[in-house]
Amino acid sequence: MTTLEEERSRSRADTDAPVYAYGIVRSGARAPATRGVLDASVVVVEGNEVAALASRLANDRVRAKRRDLIAHSNVLQDAFGSGVVLPLRFGMLFDSADELRRRLLDDRSEELRGLLDRFDGLAEMRLRVRYHDQESILTAVVKEEPEIVRMRERGRSQADFLRLGELTARRYEQRRAADAELIVRRISSHASETHVDAVDDELGVVKASFLIRNRDRKTFDAELEAVALHLRHLAQFTCTGPLPPHSFVSLAGGG
């Protein structure tokens, strides 16, 4: 039997303990079994009409360490396996469960319900495309550009080599942009929305996320495979998903 003092202690913990929030789910959703940040258990904090996946923490010292970043992602992925979830960015802390309910779940319940409806049945697919190596792509660029071939054959002076380097670099960037445009255009035709980020290095071609409907997954995969096959001699394609819609969910006014 629970004593009165235990009930009071539990009530104080619910009110006073820092609460870390992972994402928004529909009211009545189950809590993932996955452990959260700082190895804390994950609970569902219910609002009036929506709920949040959260962990009650012993302190508010949550840092962007690899272990906790992975834990944050794993909680959302586990929840996504059971239904729609709106991811929150890493590091969302509230002073208490009551503050989480008041500031997020209740004050923005209409907006959150609308977003849950909008993203229900949708998933994010993240695509990374990278050239295999610099030599193979430069060889392809040179073969496609007669002017570069002529300059290499007749070039003798330092100025000739400088112009050759500038032309090769310009043609390389044009080829990379053309490949990126082709990839994104073809795959976007099977997506509801597309989010493109800047590539990370000289060999990067595409870094993008695609929001797709579950019913369109087969056609999306087929188009991705066809494009990857077309460029297999030059580039490596890495696609991750289905994932919660991290790149597409945003709250009015930020967050």
Among residues 66, 94, 120, which one ends one of the domains? 120
Q: Taking residues 85-103, what's their average pLDDT?
A: 94
Give the per-residue pLDDT at 156. 64
Residue 225, domain member (yes or no): yes
Helix (H, G, I), strand (E, B) or coil at 203: coil
Angle between helix 146-154 and helix 158-188 axes, rounded to 10 deg = 160
Residues 129 and 111 placed together within one structural domain of the fold = no
Give the per-residue pLDDT at 59. 81
Among residues 96, 120, 144, which one ends one of the domains? 120
Residue 251, domain member (yes or no): no
**CATH code at 208?**
3.30.70
Give the per-residue pLDDT at 158. 66
Give the per-residue pLDDT at 118. 96
Q: How many domains, in total, are found in the chain?
A: 2
> How do residues 175-190 score in pLDDT, each as one tens digit?
999 999 999 999 999 9
Give the per-residue pLDDT at 170. 84
Give the per-residue pLDDT at 154. 62
Range of the domain at 88: 4-120
Residue 62, domain member (yes or no): yes
Give the per-residue pLDDT at 16. 67
Give the per-residue pLDDT at 169. 80
Least confident interval from 55-64, 126-135, 196-205: 55-64
User: SS3 sequence, 34-52?
Assistant: CCCHHHCCCEEEECCCEEE
Least confident interval from 88-97, 138-147, 154-163: 154-163
Residue 9 scores a pLDDT above 70: no
Cβ(176)–Cβ(205) under 8 Å?
yes
Q: Read off the pLDDT band of 52 (50, 70, 90).
A: very high
Q: Read off the pLDDT band of 143 (50, 70, 90).
A: confident
- Burial zone of 140 (CB within 10 Å; 0-12 exposed, 13-18 middle, 19+ buried): middle
Residue 249, domain member (yes or no): no
Q: Measuring CA to CA, how many Å separate 228 from each of 20, 106, 123?
A: 40, 46, 21
Give the per-residue pLDDT at 150. 62
Give the per-residue pLDDT at 12. 41
CA 12 to chain centre: 36
Give the per-residue pLDDT at 164. 65
Residues 36 and 111 placed together within one structural domain of the fold = yes
